[in-house]
Amino acid sequence: MTLIGKSIATTAVVGTIGGVGAYAGGLFNINSDSDKAQKVDPPKEVVFISSRLTDEGYELLDTEKAGSAGWDVVLSAYRKAQTKTFSGSPEVSTEESGLRNKCRVALKKDDDKNYLLARQWCVKETTVNKILEKTHKLLNATQVVEGEAEKWNKKFEDLKQATDEFKELREKMKATSANVETLKAECKELTTPEVKTTEEKFNTVLTQVKEWCAVTK
């Protein structure tokens, strides 16, 4: 074979190898992209409101049986509610069957809006203190208890830096004359008398007491 022929043959072989390499590389890239496309995050676990409330210690009302225990008390309070209703406005003529239906639907959802409504109107009436005592310990706002001074001091300082969710309480703690006793007085007012689930301020008070007047057990 002449020198020129060898050169042509070599070039052809190199070109072929290069082509195979490029093709193979292309295949690997395609597979890699395909693998990436197939990787998906696992589905988020759905926790229905009914389960969430039960886990938190609430006793669900029976949404199937008419006249079952607890509905009369809750329905009476629901008819008096001004804004904390499923429609967002007064529902003075709501019947038990209507409220039961709304609760039946809400308890099968998983969003926060329905959770807050169900926490008031789809459970047997209870109080802030009774719900919290399952997972938290209320700090003593009327007597000096050994070991609680440090906890009160920390809550007082943290509250002064709290978000706008607690704006009203926060501003009271930032007043020049405010001290730990100011916070204790607020906690005493929030927990005496005990606020019931059927009161419009329940969700707000529960959050405040849990955050600033109690500690996790």
Tell me which of 102 and 5 has the higher pLDDT.
102
Q: What is the mean pLDDT of residues 6-32?
A: 45
Tens of pLDDT along 123-148?
999 999 999 999 999 999 999 999 99
pTM listed for this prediction: 0.77
Q: Is 190 exposed, middle or buried (0-12, 13-18, 19+ CB in 10 A)?
A: buried
Q: Find out whether 212 and 169 touch, Cβ atoms under 8 Å.
A: yes
Phi, psi of 154 (to 5 degrees): -65, -45
Tens of pLDDT along 21-45?
444 444 344 454 555 556 666 777 8
